[in-house]
Chain A
Amino acid sequence: MKENPISFQLKLNPDDFLPATDDEKQSLVVMRESVSFWKDGLRRLRKNKVAMVSLWVIIIVMFFSFIVPIFYPYSYETQVKGANSLAPFEYSIEEQARRDAGEFVFPHVLGTDKMGRDYAIRVMVGSRISLTVGLVATAIILVIGSVYGSIAAFFGGWIDLVMMRIVDIIYTVPDILLIVLLSFALKAPLAELAALPGFGWINVVGTNLISIFIVFALLYWVGMARMVRSQILILKESEYVTAARALGAKSGRIIKKHLLTNCIGTLIVTTTLQIPSSIFTESFLSFLGLGVAVPLPSLGSLASEAINGLNTYPHLLFIPALLISLIILSFNLLGDGLRDAFDPKMKN
């Protein structure tokens, strides 16, 4: 057989023009690996350095708040005699004497406050309180808000109208007023409740802390409720839900398969961003003197107490102030990272 001129250049031979098999064709198609929603999100999150650093900061802060105080040689309420208002790593006269005698005295890493309490442990316990308030309050807000919001969205009509009016009204009442009044109002009944058998734990947690949780639960779910409601309303109208309904899917399946999976990203993000906002509010309340009861510290109350001695002992203010900003910042950045990773709709 005579060869065509171009065959020389490309070194063709007649076999090349035989039909290719399906396998050969398939081997050519390089499909991008398909990944699940969670896997894809986690991969994107792991790639986000800022979010990962924030996550580590949160883990470290949690370690110091929840684990370290258990082993710490000082307690947040014990007043060390003669050790008032020490600078960091300074020792009281008595402690110095013990040191001179060759005894090991654990240093006051951050000094002491004016009542002679070790400041490092107070800051740690303070951030424990702040974190607890942030996490527990957010959990309460999440539950109440999403239940309320989804009920309003599902039933619609006048039920929705009335429920959302209530939200508007709660939104309009100055929150400080409600907080102050509620914390006064709750004190007596909580104390009574604590006296009953089986409710002793209330005293352990502290009536103030519980009233803060109740206040959060009563007030701050409104934002979450609005968010969940609007999210569900959008999803309800979306074409794939209509399509699922047209295909005869049951309500339960639509809720589980479509509404929940599409809501969960937004819900995770909103929840993560609610935590710093709860911590923010708690610190503000403690600053006003409406937060946790003395001697229990929170970061806000520590800062508040330190203001009067600002000129002489600025570190007493700056340490809790910095720590609270760091915690809030980390949660915010983690929330942003989660949004980028899990909620492509909200991503820019």
Chain B
Amino acid sequence: MLKYIVKRIGLAIVTIWAVATLTYFLINMVPGGPFLSEKAVSPQALAALEAKYGLDKPLWEQYVTYMTDALHGDFGDSLKQRGRTVTSIIATKFPVSAKLGGTAVIVSLLVGVPLGCAAAMNRGKALDNIISVVATCGIAVPSFVICTVLMYFLGVHLNLLPTFGLTSWKHYIMPVISLAFYPTAYIMRLMRSSMLDVLGQDYMRTARAKGLSQKVSIFKHALRNAILPVVTYVGPMLAYTLTGSFVVEKIFTIPGLGGEFIGSITTRDYTVIMGTTIFLAALMVVMNVVVDIVYKIIDPRIKLK
């Protein structure tokens, strides 16, 4: 176990470092820079700005400085939002996205898993057909379509729900539906096929031969085996959803990390890009470890290595 933890932490550090380095050189290789779009800036002022942020030094020197600072937990100041550190930007924006994304993931699990199971247990019957059709349609609709359709009907046309901001529980409904739509449909499909697979296993026949009721054999013997693919899917999906979706945040005007990230890319806010990328990569790596551990708990055959 200790060996596993050490190995995973080592691997995580390498992955995050590789992602950070790749991103660092990529954003600096692309023509243009953070201050070029501000046309009013005079060459002298530009030089002064670049000197202030250390952008006039050779690239590798900037890189070493940045990495050393990052290792000490200092991700620098935002180049565009004067006077704000990258850490404080992530600290204010991430909770907004995380709350929304977390709710969406919970919703998609609560809806997707039972419906997927129900479809598998009623294979070939009407319920299965309905669920399969809904799930197939669900993975075919892009999120911006759902957002705008919801917005048009519930927000504008019927005026039932607020269309921007995140101040009350009502504000959560439409963004959460939009975010949860695709994962719910995906989990339904995943759950259905993995449940069908498990139902055909020999140990399910054993459970029946023991005289267990269908309820017990499904809930005890099948579910725990069938949930494994869902766990694999939810891990990375959670990392992405928690860090926010640009589309949903843009359409519903929510001040989250997803919008911030895209904003920083278009304005070339190097430090914010780096900070959020490292943050997302770290979250991904953590989620993968969590998935591994959950897997081990559910299935004793898995060896952590």
A and B touch in the complex (CB under 8 A): yes
Q: Are B136 and A177 in contact (CB under 8 A)?
A: no
A68 at the interface (CB under 8 A from B): no
CB–CB B197/A348 < 8 A: yes
Which chain A residues lie closer than 8 Å to B123 at the CB level? 348
CB neighbours of B40 from chain A (8 A): none
4 cross-chain pairs, A with B, having the tightest CB-CB distances, nearest first: A329-B140, A328-B140, A321-B145, A348-B196
A105 within 8 A of B: no
Contact A176 B145 (CB under 8 A): no
| Most chain A beta-carbon neighbours within 10 Å: one of B22, B140, B265, B277 | B140
A177 touches B23 (CB 8 A): yes
Task: Report if B54 contacts A (CB, 8 A).
Answer: no
Is the C-beta of B242 less than 8 angstroms from some C-beta in chain A? no
- Nearest neighbor of B22 in chain A, beta-carbon distance: A173
B88 in the interface, Cβ–Cβ < 8 Å?
no
Q: Are B156 and A310 in contact (CB under 8 A)?
A: yes
In the bound complex, do residue A181 and residue B145 qualify as a contact, i.e. CB atoms below 8 Å apart? no
Within the complex, which residue of A173, A176, A307, A317 is in contact with B246, where a contact is CB–CB below 8 Å? Answer: A176
Q: Does any Cβ of A come within 8 Å of B31's Cβ?
A: yes
Interface of chain B, helix or strand or loop or mixed? Answer: helix
Name the interface residues of A169-198: CB closer than 8 Å to any CB of B.
169, 172-174, 176-178, 180-181, 184-185, 188
Let me know if B156 and A311 touch, CB within 8 A. Answer: yes
Cβ of A172 and Cβ of B140 under 8 Å apart?
no
Check A284–B247 contact: CB distance below 8 A.
yes
A-B contact pairs, 23 of them (CB 8 A): A168-B15, A169-B19, A172-B285, A173-B22, A176-B262, A177-B23, A177-B277, A180-B262, A180-B265, A184-B32, A185-B31, A284-B247, A287-B144, A287-B247, A288-B246, A310-B156, A311-B156, A317-B152, A321-B145, A325-B137, A325-B145, A329-B137, A332-B140
In the bound complex, CA of A307 to CA of B156 (Å) = 12
Q: Total interface residues on A, using CB and 8 Å?
A: 38
Number of interface residues of B (CB under 8 A): 42
When the two chains form their complex, are residues A332 and B281 in contact, meaning their CB atoms are under 8 A apart? no
Please report B residues at the A interface, Cβ cutoff 8 Å. Answer: 15, 18-19, 22-23, 26-27, 29-32, 123, 136-137, 139-145, 148-149, 151-152, 156, 193, 196-197, 246-247, 251, 261-262, 265-266, 273, 277, 280-281, 284-285
Chain A: minimal CB distance from B278 (Å): 11
Q: How far is the CA of A303 from the CA of B246 in the complex (A)?
A: 16
Q: A283-B142, A348-B197 are in contact. Are A174 and B277 (CB under 8 A)?
A: yes
A310 in contact with B151 given A184-B31, A188-B31, A276-B140 (CB within 8 Å): yes
Which of A172, A284, A321 contacts B149, CB < 8 Å?
A321
A332-B266 in contact given A176-B261, A284-B144 (Cβ < 8 Å): no
CA–CA, A72 to B297, complex, Å?
Answer: 62
Q: Residue A333 at the B interface, CB < 8 A?
A: yes
Q: Does A304 contact B (CB under 8 A)?
A: yes
Contact call A173/B281, Cβ cutoff below 8 A: yes
Q: Which residue of B lies closest to A189 (CB)?
A: B31
Known A173-B22, A310-B148, A310-B156; contact A284-B142, beta-carbon cutoff 8 A: yes
Q: Are B18's CB and A169's CB within 8 A?
A: yes
> In this complex, what residue of A is CB-closest to B145?
A321
A336 close to B (CB within 8 Å): yes
Contact among B139, B143, B197, B262 for A332, CB-based, below 8 A: B139
The residue in chain B whose Cβ has the minimal distance to the Cβ of A280 is B142
Query: B142 — which chain A residues lie within 8 A by C-beta?
Result: 280, 283-284, 287, 300, 321, 324-325, 328
A307 to B142, CA, bound (A): 14
